Structure 1
Amino acid sequence: MKNIHLQETFRPAPSTNDIGKPDAALNLYDQAASIVPMGAFSCDLASERLSWTGGVLDIFGLSSEHTPERQATVEMYTEASREALSRKRSHAIASRSGFSLDASIIRPDGAERWIRINAAVRSVNGRATTLYGMKQDITEDRARWETLRAQAECDPLTGVANRLRFQRFLERPNDEPVLERIGALILFDLDGFKQINDRWGHAAGDACLVAFGDRLKTAFPQARLVSRIGGDEFAVLLPPLGAQGKAERAVRWITRSLLGPVKWNGERLPISASLGMAFASEHTEFNPQALFVTADRALYEAKKGRSTISDCA
């Protein structure tokens, strides 16, 4: 495969182990690259001119006949990955250091690929001049990892996310871009759940949990996350909803669809629930833990005052 502006930087220096062949190390690299989809890149920071080897061009689905333009290739990154790349790249250039990033791109043919970027900055007289490194296609590895993670983060009874998945949200750094797309957190607690278990048995209680999880997914299709975080407790993360008062009324109206008896073995099992809501502030830095504490306090007050969602029928 033809390389575009392949710089001498990427050629490993011949060593005494090269058995007398000056290009043996480079040939070894080419052979390895044919097994693992990867390639080298560099970017001149003054002109933003890119230099890519054929392996990187293949990953991005681009032809070797044209020199890639940085702005066009940046647009191939998905929004979240583009934000992360911009943040890490800027920091590396400013500190004349390096960074690693797993990022998602959409190729011209519409295929989504995951790549791993390992980059470093070359500087001259204290001024960053070049960003260079390696890019590797990790799409298959990522798919396997996501499958395993989904299994580990799924509640086996209800099919929604489990507490482990919700905990990952709580532990996100406050400045992570994805958190800007969180508008509200709703916590639900089923009322009288112990009585259902005591009267009809745990299988009946399980049926109620499964039904409630299904109803949450149906009622909030736009949810960023629906999770079972305790025995009879659920959490729903929503995107920004607009004006808080209007959003709260809309949410309370929607939650009526969560109620109604659950049919089980000829019985009609009653479901009622308390809820606590918390909205992300537009004026302060987003804090997942603070959002959870606020919603949990609201849930506690609702249960203490028996302010529940009830079936109007």
Structure 2
Amino acid sequence: MKHAIIPSLSAASGSVPPLAADNPAQLYAQAAALTAMGAWSCDLATQALSWTEGVFHIFGASLHRQMDRRETLEFYTEESRALLEQLRSRAIAEGSGFSMEAQIVRADGQRRWMRINAAVRMEQGRASALYGMKQDVTEERLRWERLRELAENDALTGLANRARFQSDFLDRPTDDPALTGIGALVLFDMNGFKAVNDMWGHAAGDACLAGFARRLSITFPEARLIARIGGDEFAMILDRGSSSAALEMTVRHRINALVLPVVWQNQQLPLGASAGIAFPGPDGKVDPEALFHEADAALYAAKRHGGNRLCTAETVSR
């Protein structure tokens, strides 16, 4: 079905005529242009779409282009399209409305975010049309993502911080689907970190922390999550891609790549690490708090033994 263009002022026209007190349509058009938004409707019997110019601008589509609803759906990313269809079907069935934020890939290839507000028009007890507003919220979304990144990531290392480790893992209930497939929790603690701070200063210590974090990310690119959870303590979650024995062997073989000296101001700073690893039970069910305590006990066993050592929770429990 073809779009019907509802007349409005183009944001790109470059000229804004004076507002007329008795012209609410013109007032709406100018206000909509300020906020990169537009109105839309969809006739449910014919699936014909009606857009104001603002909606065309959001999609990066030509005002003269003719598209049906099926073609319009191709602009949406797969996840946003699935959510839109789910909310739309429910709104039509219930005679209600919905709101969502959807990601689209415009005709020119740009990825944008838009907020959709929708309502259902009822006629003789049946839904006859959907209508509402669409607004480009890309910049708002980017600001929000930046704030979230600052809130969830450690400023020094760039890794996830303790708060994100808590929310993404430690605070989740055992039946949370997000825990499915976890194969191991590994805790690392840097050896001799206080001595580095005492001898070379905190800037040198920061260099060691940043260097160790970078090596963790490079050495374990498959990790589900790597976080700095304390001063010199790090946590890593590995997926169950292989057996517990194979995961242990992988960590044991790669730990040497983590503990090479860090070059700082033409000096080589010593860097060591102890590690403790714990695995879910045979049924694969994950109790985050219990797994953390097991890995923590294994870590401290490794520190007692000294050296760049990895201990397992099974070894500690025996």
SS in 2 for 1:105: strand
Deviation string 1:240-270 (CA, Å, 9 cap, x unpaired) is: 6644558725752445432333345645423
Of all paired residues, the percent bearing the same amino acid is: 41
Once the two structures are superposed, the pairs formed by residues 183-222 of structure 1 within 5 Å of their partners are 186-192=185-191, 196=195, 200=199, 203=202, 204-221=204-221
SS in 2 for 1:306: helix
Match of 1:235 in 2: 235
**TM-score, scaled to structure 1:** 0.71
Alpha carbons 1:182, 1:224 under 8 Å: kept: no
Structure 1 or 2, whichever has the larger Rg, is: 2
Match of 1:259 in 2: 259
Deviation string 1:136-172 (CA, Å, 9 cap, x unpaired) is: 1112222333334433433222232323344453579
Structure 2: distance between partners of 1:127 and 1:282: 50
* Equivalent AA in structure 2 for residue 303 of structure 1: L
Alignment size in residue pairs: 291
Deviation at 1:34, TM superposition (A): 2.1
Query: Using a 3 Å threshold, how does the CA distance of structure 1 residues 163 and 103 change in structure 2: closer, same or farther?
Result: farther
Match of 2:314 in 1: none
Query: Using a 3 Å threshold, how does the CA distance of structure 1 residues 127 and 277 change in structure 2: closer, same or farther?
Result: farther
**TM-score, scaled to structure 2:** 0.70
Once the two structures are superposed, the pairs formed by residues 19-98 of structure 1 within 5 Å of their partners are 21=22, 24-45=23-44, 48-98=47-97
Which structure 2 residue ranges, 5 or more long, are not aligned?
8-19, 311-318
* Equivalent AA in structure 1 for residue 273 of structure 2: S
Deviation at 1:27, TM superposition (A): 1.6
Query: Using a 3 Å threshold, how does the CA distance of structure 1 residues 221 and 148 change in structure 2: closer, same or farther?
Result: same
**In terms of mean alpha carbon deviation, does 303-312 or 267-276 score higher?**
303-312
Query: Using a 3 Å threshold, how does the CA distance of structure 1 residues 115 and 198 change in structure 2: closer, same or farther?
Result: closer
**In terms of mean alpha carbon deviation, does 124-133 or 52-61 score higher?**
124-133
Which structure 1 residue ranges, 5 or more long, are not aligned?
9-17, 285-289
* Equivalent AA in structure 2 for residue 306 of structure 1: A
Alpha carbons 1:278, 1:292 under 8 Å: kept: no
Query: Using a 3 Å threshold, how does the CA distance of structure 1 residues 200 and 75 change in structure 2: closer, same or farther?
Result: farther
SS in 1 for 2:292: helix
Structure 2: distance between partners of 1:258 and 1:300: 19
Query: Using a 3 Å threshold, how does the CA distance of structure 1 residues 199 and 66 change in structure 2: closer, same or farther?
Result: closer
Alpha carbons 1:188, 1:299 under 8 Å: kept: yes
Deviation at 1:296, TM superposition (A): 1.2
Alpha carbons 2:116, 2:134 under 8 Å: kept: yes
* Equivalent AA in structure 2 for residue 4 of structure 1: H
